[in-house]
Chain A
């Protein structure tokens, strides 16, 4: 089966600009996750969707980050405006359900100048 697809693979922007990342999960996976991974650290969950609905966004900086999952399939994560500390790899993962293992994409590496 095809894996989790993410784009773009790399993105460079200046601080205070906006940026968006796209994720296409594995077909049939109802649960979708966005993680942030800062260099040298493990991934940290930002937001979790179950179909269209948000299940957990407790660690999402809502003043600048937003995410949506229209029609329960693809998802986008947006940062506006970006700060220097947002430089990280943004990983998308999906699973068949909340009890199932998560499968990750290769992420988008974001650099803020």
Chain B
């Protein structure tokens, strides 16, 4: 699976959009981009995934660049409960292993 690079930490004001970047410059054509988050003392939570088109669900939006070498997870209206470590993972569609990096610690401030 391709390696991902994320900033170690980010801050966001409550009510504002949180934009979390991820670089995956060695991504292959059959690899998906997955986002999970982990709130303190809880297990990781699936957020969203995509191949090449932008995706949106009730939690977030995923924007993937045309060359697929980077992506951005958008939380449109961040709340204090969105404070967590966010993991960007690239995974082959036919494989199951999730390889977690160190992620981005997002802190939402009041």
Contact A93 B97 (CB under 8 A): no
Query: Is the CB of A25 closer than 8 A to any CB of chain B?
Result: no
- Enumerate chain A residues within 8 angstroms of B97, measured Cβ to Cβ: 45, 48, 56
Stretch at the interface among B17-25, B43-51, B64-72: B43-51
Contact B45 A104 (CB under 8 A): yes
A104 nearest CB neighbor, chain B only? B43
Contact A106 B43 (CB under 8 A): yes
**Once bound together, how far apart are the Cα atoms of A95 and B46, in whole Å?**
11
Binding site for A on B (CB under 8 A): 34, 41-46, 49, 87, 93-103
Residues 37-64 of A, flagged 1 when their CB comes within 8 A of B and 0 if not, give: 0000111110010000001100000000
B101 nearest CB neighbor, chain A only? A42
Query: Is the CB of A31 closer than 8 A to any CB of chain B?
Result: yes
Min CB gap A37→B, angstroms: 8
A3 nearest CB neighbor, chain B only? B43
Min CB gap A21→B, angstroms: 13
- Which residues of A in the span 95-113 have a Cβ within 8 Å of any Cβ on B? 95, 98-99, 101-107
Of the residues B41, B42, B96, B99, contact of A98 by C-beta under 8 Å: B96
